[in-house]
Amino acid sequence: MALVELNNVSKTLGNKKILDSISLTIEAGEVKIIMGPSGCGKTTLLRCLAKLDKPDSGDILFHQKNIHDKNFNTLEFRKKVGFVFQNYALYRHLNVTDNITLALRKVFNMSPARARDKALDELEKLGMAPHSKKYPSQLSGGQQQRVALSRALATDPEVIVFDEPTSALDPLMTCEVGSLIGSLHGRKVTILCVTHDVRLAEQLSDRVTFLNHGRIAAEGSFKQLSSSGSDADIRRFFGGE
């Protein structure tokens, strides 16, 4: 059964149709990759999915429940869906541990001691324990991404949503963060990742959904897409010409 379902989701911003009747499903346990060039609507799609933005039309279902229904439990929804936004969105004035414990204390009502244990446990798993007292500005891009990931994982979400997780990283770090995200699969987390990074997408999944001009332009394996007959945009994007 689908964990997340989008049915004909459309969104206009200004006078531009950013999302044009998007339908897709994310199955529990899946690693779903949505690729597309800059400006094609990826972040807008995620903002709608996170209920930070409302589509003009169409439905978004989480466990078969419409996220805009009057009696939908948004707090529970936010607890179950972890987001790792572009550029990590760490609090610059909080150290690494406090970046992770904040939501655990405020949203999950954990005691400070338990939140701290949980944060250190997650940091340890990603090799970041030695940096627990540092501030974001004292860390490299790859390290900040690990902190953002630890923060998302600490809440034990059902699904983690990534927006361009490697956009600020060099190729080596991209590869490393790619393996980290791939390894989450072993923790039974469902993953949705939007990216324009072909290399990352290829590392994470053998199937991708290609978004272009607010529409799903194609869905398939890399091989299929890079030789995608009629659509020059897709062929160019995947380096097929």
Ligand X SMILES: Nc1ncnc2c1ncn2[C@@H]1O[C@H](COP(=O)(O)OP(=O)(O)O)[C@@H](O)[C@H]1O
Give yes or no for a contact between 196 and 35, defined as CB atoms under 8 angstroms apart: yes
CB of 24 to ligand X, least distance (A): 15
Q: Does 167 bind Mg ion (CB under 5 A)?
A: no
Q: Is the Cβ of residue 49 or residue 120 nearer to ligand X in the bound state?
A: 49
CB of 37 to ligand X, least distance (A): 7
Rg, C-alpha atoms of the chain:
18
42-61 positions binding Mg ion, by CB under 5 A: 42-43
Q: Which residues pair with 162 in a beta bridge?
A: 84, 193
Q: Does 226 bind Mg ion (CB under 5 A)?
A: no
Backbone angles phi, psi at 160, to 5 degrees: -115, 130
- Tell me which H or E stretch contains 171: helix 171-184
Residue 194: CB atoms within 10 A of its CB come to 25
Task: Give the per-residue contact string, 5-34, with ligand X (x = CB under 6 A; - = no).
Answer: --------xx---x----------------
Out of ligand X, Mg ion, none, which partner does residue 44 contact, by CB within 5 to 8 A per kind? ligand X
Q: Does 212 bind Mg ion (CB under 5 A)?
A: no
Provide CB contacts within 8 A for 35, sequence distance 6+: 194, 195, 196, 198, 201, 208, 209, 210, 211, 237
CB of 86 to Mg ion, least distance (A): 6
Whole-number Å distance between alpha carbons of 176 and 165: 11
Q: Which of 26, 31, 44, 225 is in the footprint of ligand X by CB under 6 A?
A: 44
SS3 208: strand
Q: Which of 25, 43, 203, 224 is in the footprint of ligand X by CB under 6 A?
A: 43
Stretch that binds ligand X, among 42-50, 100-108, 148-156, 177-185 (CB under 6 A): 42-50
Residue 87: CB atoms within 10 A of its CB come to 13
CB of 160 to Mg ion, least distance (A): 17
In the complex, the residues that contact ligand X under the rule CB under 6 A are 13-14, 18, 36, 38-44
